[in-house]
A and B are shown apart, each in its own frame.
Chain A
Amino acid sequence: MLMEPRSLYRSRWFMPVFSSILGLLILGAFVAADDLGTGIAGLGMMVAVGFVFLIGGRRSETLAGLGGPGRDERWEMIDTRATAFAGTVLIAALIACWLWDIAGGGDGSPYGQLMAITGFAYIAGIALLRWRG
């Protein structure tokens, strides 16, 4: 059976909508903490980021790929590798912070717990992806 290349189209409005929703959640969190000003600033920043992707995506492949409409199988590969790189950096930072906290007399929280979550997520991901083929 001959397969068609997978279509990975995503609307150019994906990133503005996603970042606006995230901004609203930030606003909600700051409102709950009685800090409306910082919440509005956070919402404004996230809406601005969304529109940078919307407008900049017309000129920049990087922004188009990050924002949504420019994604195809090559971008999926780039995205996977970039995510793995960011995860590696995050794990290294967690280990460094955990050791730093322990050396300072702390109990390593919350870095130890975050490392445990990361480890379990990795093992679960391996098991799931292996099962899926």
Chain B
Amino acid sequence: MRNEIRELRGRNGLSQAQLGEAMGVSRQTIIAIETERYTPSLPLAMALARYFELPVEEVFHADGTA
């Protein structure tokens, strides 16, 4: 699933490890989400969106568009 995690993380000056720690997941899981190899669960997707103070549909794009 296309998402804005890499851009949002960069904009907030966070490392993958820091974001992973904040979300309670591994750095590798953040990498897998950013590279679209893994679609997070709904609770994790919502937690990520809430962390960046954005609606979930602005962070994750189910239709594959920006």
Residues of A participating in the B interface, judged by any CB pair closer than 8 Å:
2-7, 61, 64, 70, 72-75, 77
Residues on A with C-beta less than 8 A from B32 are: 74
B19 to chain A, nearest CB (A): 12
6 closest A-B pairs by beta carbon, nearest first, are A72-B25, A3-B43, A5-B44, A74-B29, A5-B43, A61-B28
Q: Are A5 and B28 in contact (CB under 8 A)?
A: no
A contact patch SS: loop
Instruction: Count B interface residues, CB 8 Å.
Output: 16
Interface string of B21-55 (1 = CB under 8 A from A): 00111101100100000101111101100100000
A45 to chain B, nearest CB (A): 29
Q: Are A74 and B25 in contact (CB under 8 A)?
A: yes
Work out how many contacts link A and B, with CB atoms closer than 8 A.
42
In the complex formed, the residue of A with least CB distance to B38 is A74
Residues on B with C-beta less than 8 A from A75 are: 26, 29
With the chains together, A73 CA to B26 CA distance in Å? 9
With the chains together, A5 CA to B32 CA distance in Å? 16
- Residues A73 and B41 in contact in the complex (CB < 8 Å), given A2-B50, A4-B47, A5-B47: yes
With the chains together, A75 CA to B40 CA distance in Å? 11
Residues on B with C-beta less than 8 A from A70 are: 26, 28
In the complex formed, the residue of A with least CB distance to B50 is A2
What are 15 A-B interface contacts by the 8 Å CB criterion?
Answer: A3-B42, A3-B43, A4-B43, A4-B47, A5-B23, A5-B24, A5-B41, A7-B24, A61-B28, A70-B28, A73-B25, A73-B44, A74-B28, A74-B32, A77-B38
Residues on A with C-beta less than 8 A from B46 are: 2-3
Residues on A with C-beta less than 8 A from B25 are: 5, 72-74
With the chains together, A77 CA to B24 CA distance in Å? 16
